[in-house]
Amino acid sequence: MEIIHLNNKQPDPCSTETKPSVFTAGFFDGMHVGHQKVINEAKKMADKKGLPLACITFFPHPKEILKNSNEQFQYINPIAEKQIALEKLGVDKLYIVEFNYEFASLTPKQFVQDYLLVLGAEYVVAGFDFTYGRRGQGNMERMREDADQKLEAIKVERVERNGEKVSSTLLREMICSGNIEKVHDYLDQHYEVEGEILFDHFDTVVDVKDHYLIPCSGLYDVSVSTGREEWQQRVIVDQERMKIILSRDSPRSIKHSTKISIKWLKQVSTEFVLELAQSV
């Protein structure tokens, strides 16, 4: 998959080879089953038309820019993980647009004309709630009009699980509240974060990579992998100190700076007290 970063108001068609393509568009945080349906529909369209599949997404999250906050935004899957997931789903070319005030000020028509059409979009497949342009005024109903009838806009309807609309917002709420077991139904896999081992006094601590969303404080069953070995154990999340502490039954083979991934299986307890930390 080819990855192209765009950080100007309007992409330069001479700076990258553009060709007629099927596009999918969205922020895609979490790559949940709703996102997967959108991209799978776009892939079917691309195969049917004999065109490459391109995806346009944005980074950082609009809330990180527009809320004027110094607090780092946490993602269900940071941009590097999103790239891997999109490639697995068959995306041929990924455009990552830098989301800034200038980009946020584009009118819906400017976004469609200056980005989608310039980059070669003939068909755009996106979710029913995809919006674009200043204040999210653009939507799938008006996209063809914004394109002066030069592309086809295909809207993918909502996906529901357990009577709820699958959305990144819902997933964030589940993760932040510790409802990890339910998250699997919406991702079709366990929620996973990456980090490395640090030995901190008497604790074995996981230094999680930047931008990952961490569950609320408590005790959790997880699956830990180094890439060469995998095991299940319990971890303590201490949000107050921003720590993930491994229980003392971790394999002796793990050393300081060992790279690991953690799959979150189940919340055991929502309470976090010193006695709990000592007990594991």
When divided into structural domains, the chain yields a total of 2
Residue 109: strand, helix, or coil: helix
- Write down the pLDDT at residue 246: 83
Tell me: do 122 and 77 sit in the same domain. Answer: yes
Tell me: do 88 and 212 sit in the same domain. Answer: no
Q: Residue 236 belongs to a domain with what CATH number?
A: 2.40.30.30
User: For residue 126, what are the domain limits?
Assistant: 2-158
93, β-bridge pairs: 2, 54
Residue whose C-alpha is closest to residue 115's, from 99, 128, 137, 135: 99
d(CA 39, CA 33): 10
What is the number of other CB atoms lying within 10 angstroms of the CB of residue 129?
A: 16
Tell me: do 97 and 223 sit in the same domain. Answer: no
Tell me: do 115 and 238 sit in the same domain. Answer: no
Tell me: do 116 and 196 sit in the same domain. Answer: no
Determine, yes or no, domain membership for 183: no
57, β-bridge pairs: 96
Determine, yes or no, domain membership for 107: yes
User: CB–CB of 128/26 below 8 Å?
Assistant: no
Tell me: do 146 and 233 sit in the same domain. Answer: no
Token pair 């229980």 in the structure block, residue: 247
Determine, yes or no, domain membership for 72: yes
Residues contacting 70, CB < 8 A, separation 6+: none
Tell me: do 83 and 194 sit in the same domain. Answer: no
Tell me: do 63 and 24 sit in the same domain. Answer: yes
Q: Residue 8 belongs to a domain with what CATH number?
A: 3.40.50.620
21, β-bridge pairs: 121
d(CA 170, CA 186): 9
Determine, yes or no, domain membership for 139: yes
Tell me: do 98 and 151 sit in the same domain. Answer: yes
Determine, yes or no, domain membership for 181: no
Query: What is the pTM for the complete model shown?
Result: 0.88
Q: Considering the chain, what is the average pLDDT of its residues?
A: 89
Low-confidence winner among 12-26, 71-85, 97-111, 141-155 (lowest mean pLDDT): 12-26
Report pLDDT digits (tens) over 19-62. 999 999 999 999 999 999 999 999 999 999 999 999 999 999 88
- Write down the pLDDT at residue 73: 83
Determine, yes or no, domain membership for 38: yes
Tell me: do 196 and 249 sit in the same domain. Answer: yes
255 in the Ramachandran plot: left (φ > 0), alpha (ψ -120 to 50) or beta? Answer: beta
Low-confidence winner among 36-40, 98-102, 138-142, 239-243 (lowest mean pLDDT): 239-243
Report pLDDT digits (tens) over 97-134. 999 999 999 999 999 999 999 999 999 999 999 999 99
User: CB–CB of 147/25 below 8 Å?
Assistant: no
- Write down the pLDDT at residue 239: 80
From 136, 158, 180, give the residue that closes a domain.
158
22, β-bridge pairs: 53, 123
Tell me: do 118 and 257 sit in the same domain. Answer: no
How far does Cα 116 stand from its chain's mean position?
Answer: 21
d(CA 235, CA 247): 6
| Amino acid letter, 193 | V
Determine, yes or no, domain membership for 260: yes
User: CB–CB of 237/272 below 8 Å?
Assistant: yes
The tokens describing 35, both together, are 């996102």
Q: What is the DSSP letter of 75?
A: B
Tell me: do 120 and 199 sit in the same domain. Answer: no
